Amino acid sequence: MARQFGEGGVYLRGSTYWLRFSVNGREHRESSGSDDRKVATRTLRKRLSEVAAGQFAPDAAKLDFPALVDLVRADYRVNGRRSGARLETAITHLADTFSEHKARAITSQAIVEYVSNRTRETAAPSSIRNELACLRRAFNLALAQGLVATKPRFPTVAVNNARSGFFTAGEVDALCLELAPELRGIVRMGWLTGWRMESEIFALRWSAIDSANVLRIAPGVTKGGEGREIPLGSFPQLAAVIAEQRAYTDRVERETGSIIPYIFHRDGAPILSIRNAWNRARDAAGLPNHIPHDLRRSAVRNLERAGVPRSVAKGIVGHKTDAMYSRYAIVDSRDVASGVAQLAAMHSITPPEPRTVTALNTRTVTESRTKGVQKRDSAAKPKRRAAS
């Protein structure tokens, strides 16, 4: 017969003691993993304390790593997240270590050891951080659904991978000269707006320009999920790029007899990548280290130089947080040189000569004040009329 402890008890099943207790009005049974009644009793008391504190999940013992990552996959599908490929890469690395683990076995210590092993494998810190983010998200989802009672602590992985590449206006011109004419507008638009090349600029359609001549990206299309707009009437440089694309599109439509929905295209076909063309053009232009994302970073710097308020600038380029925007708003050496020159100019201004104050003699001051009082008194006395 089971020995009772409050709402639970221990009983022998074969050679192992099992626990029986109530969770939210439902009976729960689990093995103590021991043939010692004292050990089973201590385990039962621990479980009862966890239940009382709301820190016990009945199915936690059954939850394993595959079930954890399935929660994350489902979350990505429901929310329409676009980084599915990166998620699967992270899951692959995590599975090498935790594929046979139950959720309870993925402890803080186990995670620290995982980070150490990945570091010894010379994995990039950003990759390790993405993998931990995946695992942390899995535990947060499990916690929200009551599948686990607690989650492990996750170490912080420092990442310092911020690039500092920029394009000047001259470098953009040099690159465009080496590109096919139908690709130049993509580069110029990336330089002017900071919009993402593959996910945003390539997907632009003529229907995105309304009757008020405003270019819009609909909500849900961008990486952040928020809409964006630029009035072309206020941005003549960008309007010129769009006008060139309109002329090119009209010519191709006349030649092919078809309607082309895309603003940027190759003879009517949508553009999916310009990687090869980019690499050839940058090498020919003498810009071997530049990448397309440097256009986005350059646009942020240009907004900073133009004095555009940060809240407005974030809305133009599509950064949701100040932290992300700040990673792009890097001050380069030319900005520093300009700032130092302004500081030097301020210090070169000759200050006016200070005026010299000479102390007056006390006796002289007293005599002057006395004469002034006598003069006022004599002026105040009425004059006597002469006797007739």
pLDDT at res. 58: 60
What tens digit of pLDDT does each residue of 231-283 get?
999 999 999 999 999 999 999 999 999 999 999 999 999 999 999 999 999 99
Among 78-82, 254-258, 260-264, 375-379, name the one with the lowest average pLDDT: 375-379
Count of CA atoms in the C-beta half-sphere (13 A) of 365: 5
Predicted local confidence at residue 381, as pLDDT: 57
Give residue 355's pLDDT band: very low, low, confident or very high (50, 70, 90): low
Distance CA 279, CA 154 (A): 39
Q: CA 42: distance to chain centroid?
A: 47
Instruction: Give tens-digit pLDDT for 5-47.
Output: 456 888 888 889 888 877 666 777 778 888 898 988 888 888 7
Predicted confidence (pLDDT) at residue 107 exceeds the cutoff of 80: yes
For tokens 């994995």, what's the residue?
A: 123
Q: How confident is the model at residue 1 (pLDDT cuts 50, 70, 90)?
A: very low
In the DSSP assignment, the letter for residue 3 is: E
Distance CA 287, CA 285 (A): 6
Confidence band for 388, pLDDT divided at 50, 70 and 90: very low
Average pLDDT over residues 217-238: 78
Rounded Cα gap, residues 99 and 66, in angstroms: 7
Which whole number is the average pLDDT over 114-135?
91
Above pLDDT 90, what percent of the chain? 39
Predicted local distance difference test score (pLDDT) of residue 192: 93
Beta strands in 16-70, from DSSP E residues, in sequence order:
16-23, 26-34
pLDDT band at 55 (very low <50, low <70, confident <90, very high): low
Cβ-proximal residues to 178 (8 Å cutoff; 6+ apart), any chain: 280, 281, 282, 284, 285
How much is the pLDDT for 339? Answer: 62
Q: Quick check: 285 and 175 in contact, CB under 8 A?
A: yes
What is the model's pLDDT at position 244?
95
Characterise 361 by phi-psi region: left (phi > 0), alpha (psi -120 to 50), beta (else).
beta
- Amino acid, res. 300: V
290-306 burial, b at 16+ Cβ within 10 Å, e below that, comes to bebebbbbbbbbbbbee
Q: How confident is the model at residue 104 (pLDDT cuts 50, 70, 90)?
A: confident
Half-sphere exposure (CA, 13 Å, Cβ side) for 249? Answer: 18
pLDDT at 247: 96
Report pLDDT digits (tens) over 161-192: 556 688 999 999 999 999 999 999 999 999 99
Full DSSP string of 120-158 = HTT--HHHHHHHHHHHHHHHHHHHHTTS-S---------
Q: Count the Cβ atoms, other than its own, within 10 Å of residue 62.
A: 13
The answer to pTM > 0.95 is: no
The Cα 105–Cα 120 span in angstroms is: 22
* Burial 191-213, CB ≥16 within 10 A → b, else e: bbbbbbbeebbbbbeeebbeeee
> How far apart, in whole angstroms, are the C-alpha atoms of residue 102 and residue 61?
7
